[in-house]
Structures are given as structure tokens and as C-alpha cells.
Amino acid sequence: MTGPPAVAGRRALWLACLPDLECPDTPLDRFGAVPDLPWTTGAEMEPGSDYLAMASHLPLKRISATVRFFRGVSAVRRQLAATDGLVGYALRAKPLARDYWTLSVWTDDRALRQFMRTPAHVQLMTSLKPYMGPTKFVTWSISAADGRPSLAGALERLASG
């Protein structure tokens, strides 16, 4: 397998990696990737119900913000474990590339908004704001019949939306 063509910028690199999501021949993936935080289930989807899926791309401007990011993620994960309305979530991290992606599914927009106002999430977003590059978020509706969305599908939506 070959890596992506020579492209300028981190955004172009992750877009080039979308078809296979591996790009194992790139230096950033060989040295900058950590295993995905696998899907963590908060609640089972109920047949016949609709849900809100949300994906984000969170680029950091400085590698020095990585420790701050991971400390905050630990606190956010503890908060997620106690959050009503969460169906599940996953995280992809490429620390040396300073790129992070999230995927989460919620019972509805209200549940997502309530979580966004929790102290752990607010504190992390506030502390990272000076270190963040241009972020991107996309939401879409899914049904229980669709099943859990994939991280690969979420990355495609981020790239096209």
C-alpha cells in the first residue's frame, strides 16, 4: 500500500487518507498515530427511534497543547459516562500531527447541547481555545435501523461538509 500523494498542509493529508484511512507509509501515521479510542456505548439504540450523530475535527496549533488535550479528554470521558442522552462515542487521535476527530451519537440535539454545557467540556474547550486551529463540526440524523455510524463515514462527512 502506498501513502497519499505529496500534499500541502495537515487538512490535505487527512483528506488524502480518507479512501483507506490507514496511509501507513506516511511519517505522521507511523509516528503520530495512536489506536482509536473504540466506540464506547452509553445506551442502546431503540428500534424505530431517530438519533443525532455528530463528528468533529479538532486540530491543535501547537504540539505542546497535546498534554492539555489528553488531560481534558480524560475528564470529558468521565462526564460522558454520567451523561443522559448519549448513545456512544469514539475518538481518533494523531498527536504528532496535532489532529483529533470525534464521533458521537445522541438521543437528540437537546442532549448534545446539555453535554456541551457540562463543566468538563466547557473547561476543556476554554483551555484549548488559544491552541485550536480551524475546527469543523457536522451533524446528521440517523435511525436505529441505520445502526452505529462508522468513524470512516464520519470522516467522509467532515471532508465533504
Share of the chain above pLDDT 90, in %: 72
* 33 pLDDT above the threshold of 70: no
Q: Diameter of the chain by CA atoms?
A: 46
Q: Count Cα neighbours of 114 within 13 Å in the Cβ-side half-sphere.
A: 13
The average confidence (pLDDT) of the chain is 84
**Which CATH fold would you assign to the domain 34-160?**
Alpha-Beta Plaits (3.30.70)
pLDDT in tens, 45-70: 999 999 999 999 999 999 999 999 99
Query: How many CB atoms neighbour CB 111 within 10 A?
Result: 19
